[in-house]
């Protein structure tokens, strides 16, 4: 249960993809910070919201780096200090991405609604997976192991649903920033680079969950066959 070289064969591809994506983020983030934009991140997000007729979403500064997010329960965009005040392609790109989530919420974008509904199952799935897996092996109870695998599948489903939500928010940002004149051609290229790099981290995380799920399905299916 605790060591299997085969596990690393399944885990290695998404880990390498994640490392590559994080390196791209660092590079594109730093480059985009050198490209000026006409507005700060907060002002760009506000401009996007106002242009779409969304007037019930607030914007506030939060602590930490890359802590930017949209809180649908409170209808609040929370932007890190660097993004909130920054007048750079990186700042407006990230702010516009989060504003894109607010626009999705305002228009009842179907994948976002499904994702929000799936949050509790995703949060429960990872914890339940580990508990049921350990108990299943300790008690030699296959049913518990399969329940754990099923719980982890909920996490994977959430991540799959999340992909079109994130891609759509980024596509909105990449389209709206040049249309509104917030970035020029060079800035638009920098924004695309930052948001594309961030998208790969979501892909890597989803691939990691898929490979872990496949590993345990393969391993336990094989164990069940031998037991028969």
Distance CA 61, CA 193 (A): 24
In terms of phi and psi (left: phi > 0; alpha: psi -120 to 50; beta: otherwise), the region of 10 is: alpha
Q: What tokens were used for 123?
A: 């949060």
60 is catalytic: no
Report how far residue 173's alpha carbon sits from residue 194's, in angstroms, rounded to the nearest whole number: 11
CA distances from 162 to 95, 111, 114, 186, 206 (A): 19, 7, 9, 29, 9
Please identify which of the residues 60, 98, 179, 186 carries the catalytic annotation. Answer: 98
Angle CA 96–174–91, to nearest 5: 40
Give me 138's structure tokens: 């300790």
Helix 5-32 and helix 89-106, axial crossing angle in degrees, nearest 10: 110
Q: Are 135 and 65 in contact (CB under 8 A)?
A: no
Give the residue numbers annotated as catalytic, written as ranges. 98
């Amino acid at each position: 249960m605790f060591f299997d070289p085969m596990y690393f064969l399944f885990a290695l591809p998404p880990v390498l993809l994640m490392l590559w994506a994080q390196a791209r983020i660092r590079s594109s983030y730093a480059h985009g910070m050198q490209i000026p934009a006409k507005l700060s991140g907060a002002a760009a997000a506000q401009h996007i919201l106002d242009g779409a007729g969304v007037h019930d979403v607030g914007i506030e500064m939060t602590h930490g780096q890359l802590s930017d997010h949209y809180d649908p329960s409170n209808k609040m965009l929370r932007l890190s200090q660097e993004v909130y005040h920054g007048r750079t392609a990186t700042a407006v790109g990230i702010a516009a991405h989060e504003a894109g989530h607010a626009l999705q919420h305002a228009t009842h974008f179907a994948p976002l609604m499904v994702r929000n509904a799936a949050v509790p199952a995703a949060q429960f799935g990872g914890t339940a997976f580990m508990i049921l897996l350990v108990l299943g092996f300790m008690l030699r109870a296959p049913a518990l192991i399969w329940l754990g695998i099923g719980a982890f599948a909920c996490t994977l489903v959430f991540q799959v649903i999340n992909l079109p939500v994130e891609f759509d928010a980024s596509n909105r940002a990449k389209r709206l920033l040049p249309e509104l004149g917030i970035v020029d051609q060079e800035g638009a290229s920098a924004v695309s680079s930052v948001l594309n790099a961030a998208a790969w981290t979501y892909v890597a995380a989803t691939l990691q969950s898929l490979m872990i799920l496949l590993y345990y399905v393969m391993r336990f299916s094989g164990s069940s066959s031998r037991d028969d």
